[in-house]
Amino acid sequence: MSLTVEQVKARNQELIKEVLEVYPEKTAKRRAKHLNVYEEGKTDCNVKSNIKSIPGVMTIRGCAYAGSKGVVWGPIKDMIHISHGPVGCGQYSWAARRNYYIGTTGIDTFVTMQFTSDFQEKDIVFGGDKKLEKIMDEIQDLFPLNKGITVQSECPIGLIGDDIEAVSKKKSKEYGGKTIVPVRCEGFRGVSQSLGHHIANDAVRDWVFDKSDDKHPEFVGSPYDVAIIGDYNIGGDAWASRILLEEMGLRVIAQWSGDGSIAELENTPKAKLNVLHCYRSMNYISRHMEEKYGIPWVEYNFFGPSKIEASLREIASHFDDKIKEGAEKVIAKYKPMMQAVIDKYKPRLEGKTVMLFVGGLRPRHVIGAYEDLGMVVVGTGYEFGHNDDYQRTTHYVKDGTLIYDDVTGYEFEKFVEKVQPDLVGSGIKEKYVFQKMGVPFRQMHSWDYSGPYHGYDGFAIFARDMDMAINNPIWGLTKTPWAA
Amino acid sequence: MTQSTNNVLDHFNLFREPEYIDMFETKKKNFEFPHPADKVEEVRDWTKTWEYREKNFGREALTVNPAKACQPLGAVFVAVGFEGTMPFVHGSQGCVAYYRSHLSRHFKEPSSCVSSSMTEDAAVFGGLNNMIDGLANTYSMYKPKMIAVSTTCMAEVIGDDLNGFITNARNKGSVPEDFPVPYAHTPAFVGSHITGYDNALRGILSNFWEGKERTANGKINFIGGFDGYTVGNLREVKRMFDMMGVEYTILADNSEVFDTPADGEFRMYDGGTTLEDTAAALNAKATVSMQQYCTEKTLAYAAEKGQEVAAFNHPVGVAATDKFLMEVSRITGRAIPAELAKERGRLVDAIADSSAHIHGKKFAIYGDPDLCLGLAGFLMELGAEPVHVLSTNGGKEWEARMQELFESSPFGKGCHAYAGKDLWHMRSLLFTEPVDFLIGNTYGKYLERDTGTPLIRIGFPVFDRHHKHRYPVWGYQGGMNTLVTILDKIFDEMDRNTNIPAKSDYSFDIIR
């Protein structure tokens, strides 16, 4: 028996009240501002966001280092990214994000490696700058084909007063102007991964764009040059996107940053349009390029055929008729395949409900893909979203959707227990909690080791995976048949 | 147009389709400004040489692909081994997200842990308020019986005083007066996850033992140490102890919480050493540790309290298990029952049956120091040679212990231990002095890819194979499992090397 919208709203309001009861008064007051029920017609979700997580509540968030090394810089494949500080941060994030790339790892490509300064007590006491210099020398010696180095600061760096900028400048000069980028992404900065994205974006601006004259004068531009910004090529997402842009007649001159290279970053200011997928993590550099180089940028969404179609047209609208026709051809070409996917999976998924809690763009961007399959997203929230994300979310969510910002372990578990969605989409830390509860789950950060999910090719995989999660026969067996 | 609903191609095959291969080539050629292919090949070949190895071993500052993690991971691992205990890590919150992900990826289980979420203001003013609020919130929300505090490097660098902070929080009513909040300083820039295990366990024990009068009884305490096989191993140890009639307390027993059923209920806490047993463990006759390097301070503490202590090095195989059981028997006065002798005989039998395929094979091993000692001992028992044994978190003393072990057997001749080295060092070893098999954790697959040395996954973490942690590697039963794991790879390799029709398949035997 399905509830009316008004009943859903009442239940969700009640639910919010209920979860807040567990907290001490001060905490309840603070958390109340992050939880809400979306009212149709409003231009915002009316939740507070991008503020400090509360101690001891089990936030799902990470840190600025995760945002810089883990998200923005880590995938740049021909540079070496030093996790500067103690061993752990680099170890736990080592190759965990599935940023696919083509290259010979350890020789000209370094993404799935863990370079660390492995700080010891003496480095804390006496400072790590000398060690960092030596590390750069050793990198030059042992990995001669690296095309640049970044220094990804871990917590202690900013606390002990190391001057990684001075070291980077000195060494860059010594190696004939090599790109060396110090990044101040210490984990205690800001409130989540988000500030790490911003700091990493600024580091590209200051240490890549502003440091070099045109490094590739031989590069010949075209009127159809675009750069993909904010696609980390998880499971090959950027590839499944790039192929569509190229098919419609555009030339993708750079990928930021999945399967990206330093040359691509350097040449991006030559693009005619920046196409931005993950707004949250790369709007900063897009705005900068707009201001400084006059490159317009456009947000797009390549999850599910409805959004892909609209996005292809939107991107094409920035170009001439040739590209507009190209977009139509691409849409027409893939339509039968998309219809076949929907015909196969929609009957198996129609009406199924989903609760999401993810980062970046996904809490809103994937909603369309679920809807293409007849599914309904009944709750969503951002790990590290800002107000502008929640505003954008209003274009996607339905009346009465439960909204939870920086959800705590406790809240999420209670929400799911009461709402009983058919599927939860969140991260590795949440996956097994919900599966124990008998709720089908897909990791929506790593695509649960599947993917790509972007583009037309990706949608077929997305549909298959959601079906296999929800219609997995094991969920019928969680209860003992002999129990009363 | 590659997709069809009858056969949806995902990343495994999609990107091998011609349109994607073309796309990759064009991208590289036009936009990546790559090094010439022959240059890449040249450097690749150079990295395989002795010359490169010497340069590589000459590194003094850079670490590449280490086989160790940081202290708080070990502290979290210990904390969840106690009844109703929530690990609370004081410092930056991102660290906790990492520990939880890391443990979940290995065990395929939830991993609960909270952070005091310190940010810039706490860096300046200290994290006292974070501790006060954090403990209060955790206590109200997650209803733990104990909160075990450890630290990230941030809190350590700014010098937060855990003892003072916790007392302060208690005075402010964050947790009740008598609520246990043991703590340990676990700086990430000292030691590794095994140090954190030790510090946290000692911290928890001292919380219950300090100021208490010890009345010795006949029980023993057992500590597993940081162990990726904790689920299977602790159950196996309990089974053996029960068979012997030993009275025991497993300390930090996380074998239940990392193996909960999917029956509709999420158990944030499950099993674990009860707080009562933890307190009573002071009275034990002895404390036995399965991993010496995980428990140096803890055992010293137990000894200080008047207990006999015994430490092993992750014993695997016949002789190592014999030694372990005999020591337990000596301490407790309980005989080793015939049923265990029978299990032993079965393991000896299995080794005898299979030894022809293992004898003389050369192995490289890497991992935590105790694991390396245990596996190297087992390999030599099988007549195999542990040629390279590497431990990033092993020290000079460990290296000397390894050397002693090599010298104890003709199969250790020419074998070397490498303390404080990483997997990029191992890469050079495998290229310059090749072996038949590599034993290590999941990251070893990069070495397998680069050097062609088949990887046998034993260690932590293992992310890319499922459920291995459920099977013990300790006890005779565990020795059997380890033997089979090694043999499976050997046989798979034999088949892989002999399966070319009309070329090598004369040796593609069905009976081996």
For A194-231, what is each residue's pLDDT tens digit?
999 999 999 999 999 998 778 999 999 999 999 999 99
Predicted confidence at residue B2, as pLDDT, reads: 77
Residue A351 tokens, joined = 């009406």
Which of A24, A124, A242 has the CB atom closest to B157's CB atom? A124
B276-305 burial, b at 16+ Cβ within 10 Å, e below that, comes to ebbebbbbbbbbbbbbbbbbbebbebbeeb
Q: CB contact, 8 Å: B443 with chain A?
A: yes
* Contact with chain B for residue A100, Cβ under 8 A: yes
- Measured between beta carbons, which residues in chain B are less than 8 angstroms from residue A449? none
CA distances from B442 to A208, A463, B201, B439, B472 (A): 35, 30, 27, 10, 18
pLDDT one-digit tens code per residue, A66-109: 999 999 999 999 999 999 999 999 999 999 999 999 999 999 99
Q: Which of residues 251-280 of A touch B (CB under 8 A)?
A: 252-255, 259, 261, 263-264, 267
Which of B93, B109, B133, B165 to substitute to test the interface with A, most A CBs within 10 Å?
B93
Residue A468 touches partner B, C-beta closer than 8 Å: no
At A36, which helix (H) or strand (E)?
Answer: strand A35-37
Q: Which amino acid is at A143?
A: F
Residue among A54, A87, A142 whose CB faces B133 most closely: A54
Q: Is residue B433 exposed (0-12), middle (13-18) or buried (19+ Cβ within 10 Å)?
A: middle
Strand B416-419 vs strand A180-183: parallel, antiparallel, or unpaired? Answer: unpaired
Whether residue B135 and residue A341 make contact (CB cut-off 8 A), yes or no, is no
Nearest chain B CA: its distance from A475 CA (Å): 9
d(CA A203, CA A180): 10
- The residue behind tokens 């954190």 is B196
- Within 8 A of A107 by CB-CB distance, chain B residues are 40, 43-44, 47
For B114, nearest residue in chain A (alpha carbons) = A58
Three-state SS for B143-156 is: CCCEEEEEECHHHH
Under an 8 A CB cutoff, do B95 and A115 touch? Answer: no
Average pLDDT of the segment spanning A418-433: 98
B93 and A61: CB-CB below 8 Å?
Answer: yes
Confidence (pLDDT) at A245: 98
- Chosen from B40, B117, B193 to mutate, greatest number of chain A CBs within 10 A: B117
Contacts of A94 in chain B (CB under 8 A): 65, 443
Those of residues 191-250 in A touching chain B at CB distance below 8 A are 191, 193, 216, 235-236, 239-240, 242-243, 246
Provide mean pLDDT across the span A53-59. 98
Cβ-Cβ contacts under 8 Å for A197 (sequence gap 6 or more):
A67, A68, A71, A72, A280, A281, A282, A284
The two tokens of residue B234 are: 């602790």
pLDDT above 60: residue A1 = no
Q: Which of B34, B94, B142 sits opposite A62 (nearest CB)?
A: B94
The CATH number of the domain covering residues in A225-332: 3.40.50.1980
Task: Give pLDDT, residue A484.
Answer: 65
User: Is a pLDDT exceeding 80 seen at residue A58?
Assistant: yes
Run of H or E residues at B457 = strand B455-457
From the list A134, A106, A131, the residue with the least C-alpha distance to B422 is: A106
Distance from CA of B39 to the nearest CA of A (A): 9
Q: Is there a contact between B469 and B395 (Cβ–Cβ < 8 Å)?
A: no
% of chain A exceeding 90 in pLDDT: 98
Q: Is B176 exposed, middle or buried (0-12, 13-18, 19+ CB in 10 A)?
A: exposed
| B138–A57 CB contact, under 8 Å | yes
Interchain proximity B110–A139, CB inside 8 Å: no
Given a contact cutoff of 8 angstroms between Cβ atoms, the answer to whether B373 and B419 are in contact is no
Residue to mutate among A76, A87, A242, with most B CBs inside 10 A, is: A87
| C-beta of residue B371 within 8 angstroms of C-beta of residue B314 | yes
> From the list A64, A188, A437, which residue is nearest B118 (CB)?
A188
Chain A CB contacts of B72 below 8 Å: 88
Q: Do A117 and B19 touch (CB under 8 A)?
A: no
The Cα A307–Cα A241 span in angstroms is 13
In chain A, residues with a C-beta closer than 8 Å to the C-beta of B260 are 436
Q: Is A21 left (phi over 0), alpha (psi -120 to 50) or beta?
A: alpha
Token representation of residue A471? 């219609």
Domain A5-59+350-445, CATH class in plain words: alpha beta
Selected residues 263-322 of chain B with any CB under 8 Å from a CB in chain A: 263-267
| CB neighbour class for B156 (10 Å; exposed up to 12, middle 13-18, buried from 19) | buried
- Beta-strand runs (E) in B282-427: 286-289, 308-311, 362-366, 385-391, 416-419
Q: List B439's β-bridge partners, or say none.
A: B365, B456
Q: Which of A54, A105, A141 comes nearest B137 by C-beta?
A: A54
Q: Is-same-fold flag (A5-59+350-445; A225-332)? A: yes
Q: B210-221 as b/e, with b when 16 or more CB fall inside 10 Å?
A: eeeeeeeeebbb
Q: Which residues of B touch A20 (CB under 8 A)?
A: none
Spelled out in words, what is the top-level CATH class assigned to the domain A64-190+192-211?
alpha beta
For each of chain B's 512 residues, which pLDDT tens digit applies?
Answer: 679 999 999 999 999 999 999 999 999 999 999 999 999 999 999 999 999 999 999 999 999 999 999 999 999 999 999 999 999 999 999 999 999 999 999 999 999 999 999 999 999 999 999 999 999 999 999 999 999 999 999 999 999 999 999 999 999 999 999 999 999 999 999 999 999 999 999 999 999 999 999 999 999 999 999 999 999 999 999 999 999 999 999 999 999 999 999 999 999 999 999 999 999 999 999 999 999 999 999 999 999 999 999 999 999 999 999 999 999 999 999 999 999 999 999 999 999 999 999 999 999 999 999 999 999 999 999 999 999 999 999 999 999 999 999 999 999 999 999 999 999 999 999 999 999 999 999 999 999 999 999 999 999 999 999 999 999 999 999 999 999 999 999 999 999 999 999 999 999 999 99
Instruction: Flag whether the ipTM exceeds 0.90.
Output: yes
Q: How far is B30 from chain A (nearest CA, A)?
A: 8
A293 touching chain B per CB within 8 A: no
A118 touches chain B (CB under 8 A): yes
**A187 and A159 in contact (C-beta within 8 Å)?**
no
User: Structure pTM?
Assistant: 0.98
Which letter does DSSP use for residue A66 in this model?
Answer: I
- Per-residue pLDDT at A213: 78
Please write the tens of the pLDDT for every residue from A358-400.
999 999 999 999 999 999 999 999 999 999 999 999 999 999 9
Q: Which two tokens stand for residue B117?
A: 């979420």
Query: A306 falls in which pLDDT band (50, 70, 90)?
Result: very high
* Contact (CB<8Å) A61/B94: yes
Å from B421 to nearest chain A CA?
12
Contact between A315 and A225 (Cβ < 8 Å): no
Contact: A102, B28; criterion CB under 8 Å: yes
Residue from B76, B153, B309, B387 carrying the catalytic annotation: B153
CA B194, CA A150: separation in Å to the nearest integer?
Answer: 30
Active site residues of A: 63, 66, 97, 197
Tell me if A57 and B141 make a contact (CB, 8 A cut-off): yes
Decide if pLDDT at A440 tops 60: yes
Q: How far apart are CA B222 and CA B307, in angstroms?
A: 12
Domain boundaries, chain A: 5-59+350-445, 64-190+192-211, 225-332
Q: Which tokens go with A460?
A: 């077929």
- The dihedral of CA B352, B357, B359, B363: what is its sign? negative
Distance CA A406, CA A53 (A): 7
Query: B61: nearest CA in chain A?
Result: A135
Q: Which pLDDT belongs to residue A214? A: 86
A53 touches chain B (CB under 8 A): yes
Q: Cα distance from B196 to chain A (closest Cα, Å)?
A: 12
Tokens coding A204: 């590209």
The predicted model gives A301-305 an average pLDDT of 98
- B153 assigned to active site: yes
